Structure 1
Amino acid sequence: MKNENLPEVSTSEQPDGCELLSQKEKWRLFRQGALAVSPLCVAVVPWGLLAGSFAIDAGMDVFQSMAMSAIVFAGAAQLVATGLIKAGVGLFTILLTTFFITSRHLLYSITMRQTISPLPLRWRLGLGFLLTDELFALCGNQTPERFQPWYALGAGLWFYLSWNLATIAGIFAGKLIPNLESLGLDFAIAATFIAIVIPTIQRWPVLVAVIVALLTSVLMAALDMKGGLMIASLLAMICGYLTEKWIGNHPIHREKPETQQGEFK
C-alpha cells in the first residue's frame, strides 16, 4: 500500500535510521501508519475476541491468556496452539505446528531484508517483532527509498495494541458469554486474509497462485485430508513460480524488458 505523502528518503542515507527527521515529522509518519492499518485493526477484532475466549476455554487463566497475545502475537498460531493445548497435545507437537504456521514470516523478512537491514539493531528487533501479515501488506512492497521506519512503527504498534485489546475483551467475554465460538466470529480470520490478499493480485503469477491455493484447499477440506492447507500452499507456490518462469521466457516479455513481467494490462 502506497502513501503519496511519505517523503522519499532512503533509510540507508540517514544516520541511525532516520534521525534527520524532526519530532513533528516522526509523529506525522507514526500517525499515518496507525491510520493506514486501522481498517485491518477493526477487521481483526472478532478474531481477537475468539482468541481470548478460546484461551479461557482451554483452561488458561486471565494472566496466561493475556501473556499469550502479548508475547506470541500471532493470531492463527494462537488459535491452533490453544486448540492443541485443550486437546492435551505435547509441547513438541505444539511448537512444531506453530513453526510451520508462522513460517511465512521468514519469507516476509527475506522480502524486506534490503529495506530493514540498514536500520540500527533496535529498529530491526522492534519491527521484526511487529511484523505481521497486516504490516507486510502495508510496507512489504515499499522500496528502500520510500520506506519510513516511523510509519511502519505506527502501523505495527497500533495493530499490536488493537490485537491485545481485542484479546482482553475476548478473555472477559469468554467468562461471561457461553459458547462464544458459535457466533461465527471465526469468519473474521478468512475476511482479514481476503482483505490482505486481494490488493496484491496485480500479476498473473500471483493470480495463479491464489486460484490454485483456493481450489486445492477447498478440495483437501472436502476430502478431509490432514495437512491439506500445507499441501495447498506448496502447490500454489510451485504453480506461481512456474507461471513466473513461463512468462519470463515468453517472447513478448523478452522484447519489452521495461514492462514488469506478468503485470496485468
Structure 2
Amino acid sequence: MMPLNLAVLPWGILCGSLAMQNGFSAFEAQLMSLLVFAGSAQLVAIELIASDTSLLTIAITTFIISSRHFLYGLAVRQKVIAQPLRWRLPVSFVLTDELFAFSHHPKAYQTKARLIYALSAGFSFYVFWNIWTLIGIVAGQLLPDLTNLGLDFAIATTFIALVVPSIKNRATLACVMVSGISAAALKSWGFDMWLVASALLGMSCGYLMTREVKQ
C-alpha cells in the first residue's frame, strides 16, 4: 500500500485545496476526509455543494459513484463472514479501491494475523489520505488555484496502476478495452451517465466472454 499512499498525494492535495477554494472551512474540509474517505465522491460532492445543488442530487450522484463498493463488499464477504462484527466493520470502512486490489489472495482475511495485516494496510491509506488533505487545505489558503495544475490526473494514474496488473486473461482485457473505449466515446458525445454505462458495458462483455470460455 505504501506506493499507493504516495501516489494519491496529488489527489489528496487537490481535494483539500478544492474544498477551501469553494468556501469550505478548514474544519469542514478535513472532516469530510475523516468521515467520507472517498476521493472521487468527495471531489464531486465538493463541486456540487459549492454550486448549491439539491441534497437529493448530491446523494444520488455520490451513491452512483460509490456503488462499486457494494460489489467490493460482496466479493470480500465470503472471506470475512465467519469473523466477528468487530472485525468486519473496520474492514468495510477501509475497503477502498486500493485495498480491494490486494484482496484477491485465497487466504486474505482468513486469520487474525491476516486481518491485522489488512487493517494496517487499509488504515495506513486512511492516515495518509488525511495528511495529504491537510496539506491541500494549507496549500489552498496560501497558493493560487491548484485545480489548474492537472493534479486530478493522479486519479487516472492510480486506477491504471491498479487495473493493468489484473489483466491476466482475454475476458478481463475485453472488459478493460470496452470500458475505456465506451467511456471516451460516451463522454465525448455528452452522455451524462457515461461512467455508469461504460462500466456496465465492460462488465457485460467480460461476463459473456467468461461464459463462452466455460462452455
Match of 2:197 among 221, 228, 231: 231
Identity %: 46
Q: Is the 8 A contact 1:114 1:144 kept in 2?
A: no
Task: Indicate whether 1:58 and 2:10 are aligned.
Answer: no
Task: Indicate whether 1:142 and 2:108 are aligned.
Answer: no
Match of 1:112 among 76, 88, 91: 76
| Aligned equivalent of 1:158 | 124
| Aligned equivalent of 2:153 | 187
The CA deviation at 1:178 is 1.0
Match of 1:208 among 166, 174, 183: 174
More helix by share: 2
Match of 2:94 among 126, 130, 138: 130
Structure 1 runs (4+) deviating above 6 angstroms are: none
The CA deviation at 1:209 is 0.5
SS in structure 1 opposite 2:8?
helix
Task: Indicate whether 1:196 and 2:159 are aligned.
Answer: no
- Unaligned stretches of 5+ residues in structure 1: 1-36, 250-265
Give the count of matched residue pairs.
Answer: 212
The CA deviation at 1:117 is 1.1
Q: Could you state the TM-score of these two structures normalised by the residue count of structure 2?
A: 0.96
Q: Distance in 2 between matches of 1:239 and 1:58?
A: 40
SS in structure 1 opposite 2:91?
helix
Q: Distance in 1 between matches of 2:207 and 2:133?
A: 37
Please say which structure displays the higher CA radius of gyration: 1
Q: Is the 8 A contact 2:171 2:210 kept in 1?
A: yes
Match of 1:44 among 8, 29, 51: 8
Q: Distance in 2 between matches of 1:112 and 1:216?
A: 28
RMSD in angstroms over aligned alpha carbons? 1.1
Q: 1:145 to 1:63 in 2, by over 3 A?
A: closer
Q: Is the 8 A contact 2:167 2:173 kept in 1?
A: yes
SS in structure 2 opposite 1:112?
helix
The CA deviation at 1:146 is 7.0
Q: 1:221 to 1:207 in 2, by over 3 A?
A: same
Q: Could you state the TM-score of these two structures normalised by the residue count of structure 1?
A: 0.78
The CA deviation at 1:145 is 6.6
- Unaligned stretches of 5+ residues in structure 2: none
SS in structure 2 opposite 1:226?
coil
Q: Is the 8 A contact 2:21 2:145 kept in 1?
A: no
